[in-house]
Structure 1
């Protein structure tokens, strides 16, 4: 979207706060010692004094009636504490749990950064406290208006968003790809059973309880994998998620993800879809359990991300897109080396395009 289009789209949002006064915007610029990025200045003066963007919106300037943050309503309120260490960085939007989206006001494009004091925990053991989001303010707001940023944050996190945006997608025409001949279910189980360092298989009771909790039947091949090979931890990306067991704690497993993202109040995907594999760049592979063959789907709310000279590279822009392969074909791809360690998850869209015409899910 152009800057004018963004301003008009945000102005059309119902229930916005009144715009800021020019004096209040000038005050911010005096404090930080340089002009605000032009887009943010226009939004404060022409659209609203805060309250636009994801969820309850960004902070405003002086005079804002922003009421969604219990400590601050004015972007300058916390600037004095950080200006020496992070000059020009404005804490713009609070995601909760101490996580903020921060804008570098020294650059007219307004590069966005991620502040997350929760780093070093199990979810993000190697992430920095302060990291670039690899998005400008205009890109951040565009993704927010489309709901993509919220979907990516909820299902993956902002570090994954930054990684997803770090490089451009492959055009299907640039991809050298030949699909391997699909293995049979028995061949897949036999090949996976020889892999080293496998977690123990799940019990039949644990698999049955997972199916009951989700209200569906797993595809036979996936059920065999859990019962005969391993309870998750194998496969492409970060490995297939397992079923929950009393003696094993995992941050991710298929039942908890299903409850939050499929059966919750704001379902991301149709009923019957199971969040199977987390790739780590805001991208997931899901399996449609309504079909015993287990058609595979891609969850990629931040893609595609083409180069500027390839504005339209012929890829489905929906967050949920078909992979155009079954679970058996997907596992065959992995066993045959298609999804090697250097495989970029964003290329899954190009692989899908090479495999055939996409279809939309029912429901």
Structure 2
């Protein structure tokens, strides 16, 4: 008999065989990292037939800053179906189960990096309208040093408090939705970049005027963070956070940081899916006040369906039920997500 359920913590390792078979491009080092770090606090949803998993979906929790509010939101990864179980609607049933469960948990939304966007559109996902993208490719090369007073150095565990403060300040200035950084976030990221044969570099402004301690170490101020992985002499930049505004600086700074490698910028075009509409609306803000009197359709999450008046302004979002007679437009959950996120700047750049 077919059954959909979350695995118990002690059962999670049993999915490794399926992960390695479906995602064979991932190295052993990365899979080791994933099953050591990410399965500590994630949830793995499976569809079983006679007790044997045929489909799995991992929901990895992240604390997101959403217009000044902090919420735990699941990032859906490792969506997999055994080849002989495909094209039978099994993954669709798992996704529907997951979304309804998230709605009951009052999760505002979930997000993923789609392998097949058309498939996920059919399940109510849409691309975030306003996402951060970087240059797609930069060749290697040497150029005159851009800022003589700045230098790259390898990040260490002792740098984490400064990295947390710097990254959150930079992101909060520019974006409405992003992953909130903390010490645990960077501890995990050190392990992740090691598994990806990369690392984390810090751009420091060095001043010899004020010694840090009796040993005469120079005082330095953090100006940037570079997160990268390496494959076949190519560095994939996962994240580059710097104070400089000119994107041209990013090109030159990456070349200075990794002069022996070709540089590519990872792209993370995330898709979003509203889980609990009421919770989602309550977190939204917009400089441009808007009001919708609509009938919402959601084929996968019935609790989101109904007739509502939705108002969003710089002070926040409100939603209330209205009668059918007051409805001015009928709209599906995908279109509504695009409308409510139209001017929300999003920064999500997670591998897993």
| TM-score using structure 1 length | 0.24
With a CA cutoff of 8 Å and minimum separation of 6, indicate the structure with the bigger relative contact order.
Answer: 2
| TM-score using structure 2 length | 0.25
